Amino acid sequence: MHPMLNTAVKAARRAGNIINRASMDLDRLSVARKGPRDFVTDVDTAAESAIIEILQTAYPDHGILAEESGEIAGQRESEFQWIIDPIDGTTNFVHGFPDYAVSIALAERGVVTQAVVYDPTRNELFTATRGAGAFLNDRRIRVSRRTRIEQALIGASFRSADDAQMVRWSRIFSEMSVSCAGTRRIGSAVLDLAWTAAGRLDGCYGAGLKPWDMAAGGLLILEAGGLIGDFAGEQTWLETGNLVASAPRLFPGMLSLLEPMQVSVTPR
């Protein structure tokens, strides 16, 4: 395992331990509202601090972009930036709904080269190093072999403070549900991507996402043999927050079904 990936795994597991301990006594959680349908807990903050401490101890010159802490500058000319989401799926976590994950990615000159997604409730560790494949608990994973969209199970994650936008996206979600075998909105874009990389979902899409929701999962998809792009199939998803990911032969069909999303999204 690459030394930087090994450090990220250590950090993710440390955060997972914090999350698991807190999940046993949810009544003691301190929960604050960041915005409509957007929460943060003291556990998010504690888990993020633990991750940052481990990464900064190992690589003090590296920059950091984290959901709760924002951007932390490293050495002035550093080519490395860690992208962190301590709990993707905080709303699920607050309710005791066991679908959430820790996400850590490393970008070198803007290109993600290391990825860790850790599901602490299942003790499932998804990892990838650019050019070396994607793994679940050290077992190689690949995207689904399905070729027909009507047989596909699709994950969705869309977030907006705009209620009207959410209604429009929900209509597209309903139309997608009619066109494929099933749709799932589990509340964690990170897990949507990891599960698509592992073939549990045949594809997924998201809108209104942030870099920490996508960076690690995007590399998992690519290293598992999948395709990822924005709603036009282009490579702007990390900047725009709008993405589609799937097995290669399903990708054109998903883009076709999600064409209305191109005109329904609002710039970040």
Instruction: Please report which residue ranges of 134-188 form alpha helices under DSSP H.
Output: 163-179
pLDDT of residue 261: 66
- For the chain, the C-alpha Rg in angstroms (whole number) is 17
- Side chain identity at residue 248, one-letter code: P
Q: Which domains does the chain have, with CATH numbers?
A: 3-140 (3.30.540.10), 149-262 (3.40.190.80)
pLDDT of residue 178: 79
Q: Identify the helix (H) or strand (E) that includes residue 180.
A: none
Q: Is 207 left (phi over 0), alpha (psi -120 to 50) or beta?
A: beta
d(CA 114, CA 94): 29
Coil/strand/helix, residue 246: strand
Model-wide pTM > 0.75: yes
User: Using an 8 Å Cβ cutoff, are 99 and 186 in contact?
Assistant: yes
pLDDT of residue 246: 96
pLDDT of residue 71: 82
Instruction: Read off the tokens for 45.
Output: 């903050």
| pLDDT-flagged residues of the chain (< 70) | 33-39, 74-77, 160-162, 165-166, 261-268
Closest to 31 (Cα-Cα) out of 106, 121, 91, 105: 91
User: What would the pLDDT profile of 122-176 be if each residue is shown by its tens digit?
Assistant: 999 999 999 999 999 989 999 999 999 999 999 998 876 667 766 777 777 777 7
d(CA 29, CA 195): 28
User: What would the pLDDT profile of 22-33 be if each residue is shown by its tens digit?
Assistant: 898 887 777 776
User: Hey, what's the torsion of the CAs at 154, 103, 92, 184, to 10 degrees?
Assistant: 0
Closest to 212 (Cα-Cα) out of 112, 141, 73, 126: 112
Phi, psi for residue 41 in degrees, rounded to 5: -120, 170
- Side chain identity at residue 243, one-letter code: L
Coil/strand/helix, residue 140: strand
Closest to 136 (Cα-Cα) out of 224, 48, 47: 224
Closest to 186 (Cα-Cα) out of 76, 63, 109, 95: 95
- Side chain identity at residue 67, one-letter code: E
Instruction: Read off the tokens for 194.
Output: 């990891």
pLDDT of residue 113: 97
